[in-house]
Amino acid sequence: MWLNQFLLLAAVLFAIGVYGVITRRNGVMVLMSIEMILNAVNINLVAFGAFNGTPVGSVFALFVIAVAAAEVGIGLAIVLLIYRNKRSIDFDEVDLLKG
Amino acid sequence: MTQLFAQAGSGDLMVAQNIFWWIFAAITVIAAIRVVTTENIVHSALNLVIVLAGVAVQFIFLGSEFAAVTQVLVYIGAIVVLFLFGIMLTRGSLGEETLAQSERRGMGALVALMLFGVMAVSLIDGFEDVTLGEDTRNLIEVETWEREGTDAGDAFLTRGSDTAAIGDTIFEQYIVPFEAISVLLLAALIGAIVIARKE
């Protein structure tokens, strides 16, 4: 199998995730798209680890998974707080930091 | 099972592996597109499960079982459930979501396509004929001092499960990042509780 198979699949997933972050307005959907981007990066890490014959790629993928879990926890807490204050999680309507 | 694989011959095995790779890659990409395009958010979350399982399958193809099992446990088991709770608690979003205007969708598609184009060109340019070994499992050092008739401390390299290798690497070389990440997780959990708590 070619290394490029895995790298190109990861690139496709990354691009789809970026499209989701740009177009979706729901806060939970934006977080889901970010998860897809992180997964694409994980495929790259494990693929290069397998290519070089070391377990270091998988180790870094595990670290990324742990950080992603923390990120989802904080992100959903923020989305809940926005919903409680504004009764909506449409990110187009969140403009509290606008000058 | 091992004999079965040996009889099939490595050439046939590689062909079968390639066919299944393309099937699973197609499923993953289609589910990923559905995640970002369906209007129903619960359906998006369920399609996300397929994408995450597809990524776990890629880890298996790459010979990294431990990462695949962790992917299933942490992502499908925990993070997707967290997403579903988030969808339920922000009840206004349950069901249909009004999608962005077509102008913004066009811009998003343009950005994503250009990004993919840049990555694809550089990947094809940089790794054109690079192949993965037939056996992607890691080389691990096995000491044979337990066996009779061999010298103490005698070691040889063999292809083995990468779980042992990952454990050795995390707890020897990367013990400091590991501890730092455990503190980060604790801080994130406390932070999430503080943020989401009612006054």
Sign of CA dihedral A32, A38, A41, A45: negative
User: Across the interface, do A46 and B28 touch by the CB < 8 Å criterion?
Assistant: no
Domains of chain B: 1-100 (1.20.120.1200), 137-199 (no CATH)
Whether A16 shows a pLDDT value over 60: the answer reads yes
- Tell how many helices (H) and how many strands (E) occur in chain A: 3, 0
Q: Which two tokens stand for residue B177?
A: 């990042």
CA–CA distance, A76 with A71 (Å, rounded to integer): 8
**Interface predicted TM-score (ipTM) over 0.90:** yes
Q: What pLDDT score was predicted for residue B18?
A: 87
Q: What pLDDT score was predicted for residue B135?
A: 59
Q: Which residues, numbered 136 to 195 in chain B, qualify as contacts with chain A under a Cβ-Cβ cut-off of 8 Å?
A: 136, 138-139, 162, 165-166, 168-170, 173-174, 177-178, 181, 184-185, 187-189, 191-193, 195
Q: Which two tokens stand for residue B193?
A: 């509780």
pLDDT in tens, chain B (199 residues): 444 444 445 567 778 888 999 999 999 999 999 999 988 889 999 999 999 999 999 999 988 889 999 999 999 999 999 999 988 888 755 555 566 667 788 899 999 999 999 999 999 998 887 787 665 555 555 555 455 555 555 555 555 567 888 888 899 999 999 999 999 999 999 999 998 887 6
Domains of chain A: 3-86 (1.10.287.3510)
Q: What pLDDT score was predicted for residue B160?
A: 59
Contacts of B99 (CB under 8 A, 6+ apart): A23, A24, A25, B39, B105
Q: What is the pLDDT of residues B1-34, one digit of tens each?
A: 444 444 445 567 778 888 999 999 999 999 999 9
Q: What pLDDT score was predicted for residue B190?
A: 95
User: Across the interface, do A23 and B100 touch by the CB < 8 Å criterion?
Assistant: yes
Max Cα–Cα distance, chain A, nearest Å: 53
Residues in chain A with CB shorter than 8 Å from the CB of B28 are: 9, 13
Q: What is the pLDDT of residues A29-39, one digit of tens each?
A: 999 999 999 99
Q: What is the pLDDT of residues A43-92, one digit of tens each?
A: 999 999 888 888 899 999 999 999 999 999 999 999 998 888 887 778 77
Q: If pLDDT is split at 50, 70 and 90, which confidence band does A93 have? A: confident
Question: In 3D, which of B64, B46, B44 has the Cα closest to residue B55?
Answer: B64
Q: What pLDDT score was predicted for residue B97?
A: 59
User: Across the interface, do B97 and A54 touch by the CB < 8 Å criterion?
Assistant: no
Q: What pLDDT score was predicted for residue B31?
A: 96
What percent of chain B is predicted at pLDDT more than 90? 47
* A83 C-beta neighbours (distance < 10 Å), count: 20
CA–CA distance, B135 with B48 (Å, rounded to integer): 30
